[in-house]
A and B are shown apart, each in its own frame.
Chain A
Amino acid sequence: MPLSLMEGNEAIAWGAVNSGCRFYAGYPITPATTIFNTMLKLLPPMGGICIQGEDEIASIGSCLGASMAGLKVMTATSGPGLSLYSEHISFALGSEIPIVIVVIQRLGPSTGSATRGADGDIQFMRWGSSGGLPVIVLAPVDINDCFFLTMHAFNLAEEFRCPVFIASNKEIAMTKESIDMDAIPRPKLKERAAPPPGKSFLPFEIGSDRMTPDFLPIGDEVLVRQTSSTHGPDGYITTDFDQIGKNQERLRKKIVSAVDRFSFCEAYMEDDADTLVITYGVTARAAKEAFMEQKGEGKPVSLLVLKTIWPVPENLIKEKAKSFKHVVVVEMNLGQYVREIQRILPDKKVHFFGQMNGKLITPHQIKEAIANV
């Protein structure tokens, strides 16, 4: 099994082009820049487009334009850029524009530390847009996930016509690892659905058995309207409260109701354990070692590594947690996702261990947190 060497960020770029991504726009920011660098090498020779926006707002804005013209698009940034993406994330959510947004988290708040890892933007991705509609967020653990989950992110963006986030971390993004790209299972590529030939088209009309409108690109034969305003099926402003309310509910439901189909995770279950560790992202690597050591020491715990963060895979978590008395949530922040776990597991003792100092949480720290239960 011959191996290659690359950064997590490079694997995201390769995952993107293998998903059919043909437009990338980004603004330089450590630790996301190497995605831009790689896309700039990959896309132009294959007829795609990679540009450097004048800022993050322009970068994601031009992605939205290109997506409406029919291309699969991606942008990447870190916390300070995610702040600037906000208005266009709302646009993509409310107006159902497919886009993959990679967030390479670094230590915040604000400009924080450019080269220190963190998972401090987990709730920000979920709630950092006006209107509060749900988003999809996938979190890689290692370089294989960077490739694999990026391909799934494109599929989800196409299928649900929505922004899909990759929540990576400096510690994955700028770490080089051995990888066998050919050995990573690749999903069948999905494309946004066009209306059946001959059927009349309205840009936001929902078929009776559907949750997502059909898509036609701006620039083809049939006229297409796209708008950030509250709109009806025809893409014009509507003031019909009933229509508005139903549409908002559909935008929520189309994402939330489907999460069981894309609840990516790794679960390591031990029969004799009374504690379940739940974590995500780079911290899962330390947690897996802690899991192995606990097992070797005859003090087994179980471990659930979430790779779909939003919508919260509630059924998955409830199912995996049902036989445990204690749940330990470990994350590289001061306590963000633990709120979700507490919310959906009100009958469990939910403990938290977090760290936000730019250092990786170690297996030893996780074992201590387990011992303190």
Chain B
Amino acid sequence: MSNLLNKSRPLVFCPGCSHERIARILDKSFQNMGLNGNQIVMVSDIGCSGLFDTFFNTHAMHGLHGRALTYATGLKLARPELNVVVTMGDGGMGIGGAHILSACRRNLDLTLLVLNNFNFGMTGGQFSATTPSEAQVGSGFLNRIERPIDVCEVACSAGATYVTRCSAYRKDLAEEIERAIRHEGFSVLDIWGVCTGRYSKQNKLTPQTIDETLSALPPREGVVENNARKEYGRFYREVAESQKPTPPPAKIEKKFDPPESIRQEVIILGDAGQRIITAGDILCFAGLTAGLKVTQKNEYNITVLRGPSISEVILSPEDIGFNGIYRPAAIVAIGQEGVDRRANLFEHLDKDALIILAKGVEVPSSNATVHLVDFKKQGIKTHDRALSSLSVMAKLNKVINLKMLQSALEARFKEPVLTSALGLVDRVDIA
């Protein structure tokens, strides 16, 4: 198999840098696997490890610091057949921490080589997420008062299915990289090396001291049995295949004439849990059954189970431009919190505006006509009062009629909800 190193772009690392050794070994892994350049994409980011993509005759994508895994994710999901190899330094690993955690949790078939040389070589030897506290680096005392992370332990606890901690000088590194690439899932190799340009000028770090330190740590080598599971891309495609296609939204034919063919605005004021938004929806569908244009705006608190719930609906035979509410034709007032939120609405109401008011809710005085309904006496539960109010509105032939409402329910609901909703609408007494 031919060498994939780019002959016109010779390796340019500092003399003695272990990155150079890793680049040559990675090429050997590719050769051992019999891969062509177009079966591989090298993904890299910033720092000396970010030069890797330029040295190989493969596909390549080089981007921003710490973000290589994000591009790799898109590439692999779009091209499952590609071998996606990501190089990142300890710097990129630190700044891209969220992406490492996420890649470990997903288990997409990417191979991450962390070229860990314990400092930011390119910018002047500042401390990284892996710099030992006792090291002398370009960030003054700062590394002494933080502690480094062990990316292998982090990866294991985040769910990585293949994790190896090793030296760049390990004899079978080519075979280990090959095993990592062949592993179907996310693999992380934490490869310790020497930065001769910066780090090892002030700190004793040699292949021997790396071996000594590694041997004192609990080994991390290969498949993490506890985390073994399906590869994400394969799993995704399996689940996706079983998803039912979503049909385009239902089209509602005009079947009826509305009580009045003019722009009409309705505000439904209630409390969370009263199915206010659903009622707004139904009102829109009712409009569509009469060939009207509709808009609906809703307001509720981010804590969706508490606080006011408001739906503003406009029905109009003309295109609806500005969709703020000017002169509501009807106000449904069934919850005190909704009423209180829009208390200043009432003073401007027209005489012919209709307020459908649930007994027990108080509204500010206004010119509008109040139609009081005792839902409690009718045995209508609080979450049914919004739809019941629409029934009252329809039975009073205000904005909508009963046929529009029934037809809207047929368009909006399936059985068994439909029958119960139609039954409710039928049962509601306008008083």
Select one of A49, A178, A217, A224 contacting B236, CB under 8 A: A49
| Residues of A23-67 whose CB lies within 8 A of B | 23, 25, 30, 41-42, 44-47, 49, 51, 53-55, 57-58, 60-67
B54 to chain A, nearest CB (A): 6
Verify if B240 is at the interface (C-beta below 8 Å from A).
Answer: yes
B64 and A87 within 8 A (CB)? yes
Contacts of B82 in A (CB 8 A): 69, 218-219
Contacts of A63 in B (CB 8 A): 74
B105 to chain A, nearest CB (A): 8
Verify if B2 is at the interface (C-beta below 8 Å from A).
Answer: no
With contacts A4-B249, A10-B249, A227-B60 known, is A64 near B53, CB below 8 A?
Answer: no
With contacts A87-B64, A285-B321 known, is A54 near B102, CB below 8 A?
Answer: yes
A58 and B72 within 8 A (CB)? no
Contacts of A224 in B (CB 8 A): 59-60
With contacts A47-B240, A54-B99, A65-B71 known, is A14 near B248, CB below 8 A?
Answer: yes
Contacts of B61 in A (CB 8 A): 65, 68, 218, 225-227
Contacts of A363 in B (CB 8 A): 322
A286 and B251 within 8 A (CB)? no
Verify if B298 is at the interface (C-beta below 8 Å from A).
Answer: yes
Interface readout for B265-305 with A: 1 if CB under 8 Å, 0 if not? 00000000000000001001101100111111111001000
Contacts of A174 in B (CB 8 A): 297-298
Verify if B246 is at the interface (C-beta below 8 Å from A).
Answer: yes
* Interface SS majority for chain A: mixed
Verify if A205 is at the interface (C-beta below 8 Å from B).
Answer: no
Contacts of A1 in B (CB 8 A): 291
The CA-CA distance from A66 to B84 in the complex, in Å, is 13
A65 and B60 within 8 A (CB)? no
Verify if A229 is at the interface (C-beta below 8 Å from B).
Answer: yes
Interface readout for A154-197 with B: 1 if CB under 8 Å, 0 if not? 00000000000000000100111110110000000000000000
| Residues of A202-242 whose CB lies within 8 A of B | 217-229, 235-237
Interface readout for A324-365 with B: 1 if CB under 8 Å, 0 if not? 000000000000000000000000000000000000101100
Select one of B58, B78, B291 contacting A65, CB under 8 A: B78
A5 and B285 within 8 A (CB)? yes
Interface readout for B241-277 with A: 1 if CB under 8 Å, 0 if not? 0011110111111100000000000000000000000
Verify if A114 is at the interface (C-beta below 8 Å from B).
Answer: yes
B408 to chain A, nearest CB (A): 10
With contacts A4-B252, A218-B75, A219-B81 known, is A236 near B59, CB below 8 A?
Answer: no
A49 and B250 within 8 A (CB)? no
Contacts of B351 in A (CB 8 A): none
| Residues of A237-267 whose CB lies within 8 A of B | 237
A68 and B71 within 8 A (CB)? yes
Contacts of A53 in B (CB 8 A): 70, 102
Of the candidates A2, A66, A176, the one having the most CB atoms from chain B within 10 angstroms of its own CB is A176
A361 to chain B, nearest CB (A): 9
A362 and B239 within 8 A (CB)? no
Contacts of A175 in B (CB 8 A): 295-297, 323
Of the candidates B61, B79, B250, the one having the most CB atoms from chain A within 10 angstroms of its own CB is B61
13 example contacts (A-B, Cβ-Cβ < 8 A) are as follows A4-B250, A4-B251, A30-B302, A49-B77, A58-B99, A69-B82, A88-B63, A174-B297, A177-B295, A180-B251, A225-B61, A227-B61, A235-B60
